Amino acid sequence: MSPQYLVIGNLTREFLLPASGSPRLDAPGGSLLYAGAGARVWAGESDIGLVGRVGDDYPRAWLNDVRGRGFDIKGVKILPQNLDVREFLSYSESFEPNPANPVTQFARRELTIPKALFGYQPPEERARLETSRLVVTDIPEEYLSARAALICPMDLSTQNQLMAGLKRGDTHTILLAPSSVDMNPRAKRTLPVFLSGVTALLLSQEELRNLFWGETHDLWEMAEAVSMYGCEYVVVKCGAQGQLLYAAGTKKKYEIPAYPARIADLTGVGFAFDGGFLAGYCKNYDPLEGVFYGNVSASLKLEGSGAFYPLEVLPGLAEARLNVVRGLAREV
């Protein structure tokens, strides 16, 4: 059977220096896995198809593990060449992101930098390489019958091409998480065309503020302005404060506090939310339910390291948290 939901994003080899505890060196990561796991919390076996790119140097055991966790990975293209997909992340003791300079961060902790990080370049610098960019033909034909798709952060032109490709099929629900790099005042010239036909825009409050830099400080005003570009819903991720939801059709506004989870690792929390929103929204096409599900997926990821941590928690925990979060939302 073809997957019901698609997650389109990047796969990385993750090198993580957490706020506390042991380093996590050369492990599977990337928006594709974090968002996929956030959706898989709520979705059944083979319901989620993953679309991404890796080189032939990417560990096959990792891909086999992804498949073994119930994902359809026919959309993961293995290029016949090496592809640098390293990602270095480091956090301070107060959970603030450190500069992505492995040499400095390993030295600060009096650790030896692994040879695998020699010559490291941040992903945003490598994004300009054509080999790392997804194209429409990376989406298997059978995936075009999926009910919904989440496109994780990547450059706007790539996202635009992928959306056009999805619209050739039966995928009518498209959720978009923009790249932070593209969220600046200049982007407002292209967004009206870009967001036409997008079901929901999922972005952080920092990204939204950057988009309207110097114009207003009111997040609701910004969300309404973005919705006028053509998307039905705008979801603003506000970190520890939770989420805001703006519905363009009814002009309704909701505040949803974050589930009070224990903080262990911030890596991929926003992506886990996006995946949870995908699965929750598609239950009955209710954006508020989407936020509830995403909220819980994010809370599960927050409490442990690794993309698949949300899938390894106690059975029934996600549903219990969902019942709590539903009671926290308020219309404003």
The CATH number of residue 73's host domain is: 3.40.1190.20
Q: Are 7 and 153 in contact (CB under 8 A)?
A: no
Pair type for strands 252-256 and 233-237: unpaired
* Whether residue 125 has pLDDT greater than 90: no
Q: What is the pLDDT of residues 41-70, one digit of tens each?
A: 999 999 999 999 999 999 999 999 999 999
Percent of the chain scored above 70 by pLDDT?
A: 99
Pair type for strands 173-176 and 48-55: unpaired
Q: Find all residues with CB under 8 Å of 104, minimum gap 6, and list them.
A: none
Phi–psi pair at 274, nearest 5 degrees: -60, -45
Q: Are 203 and 156 in contact (CB under 8 A)?
A: no
Which H or E run contains 46? Answer: none
Burial of 54 (0-12, 13-18, 19+ CB in 10 A): buried
Pair type for strands 243-247 and 233-237: antiparallel
Q: Find all residues with CB under 8 Å of 269, minimum gap 6, and list them.
A: 298, 301, 302
For position 134, what pLDDT does the model report?
A: 94
Beta partners for residue 25, in sequence order: 15
CA distance 50 to 271: 14
Q: What is the pLDDT of residues 3-54, one digit of tens each?
A: 999 999 999 999 999 998 899 999 999 999 999 999 999 999 999 999 999 9
Tally the domains of the chain. Answer: 1
CA distance 107 to 113: 8
Helix, strand, or coil here: 187?
A: helix
Least confident of 176-190, 197-211, 278-292: 176-190
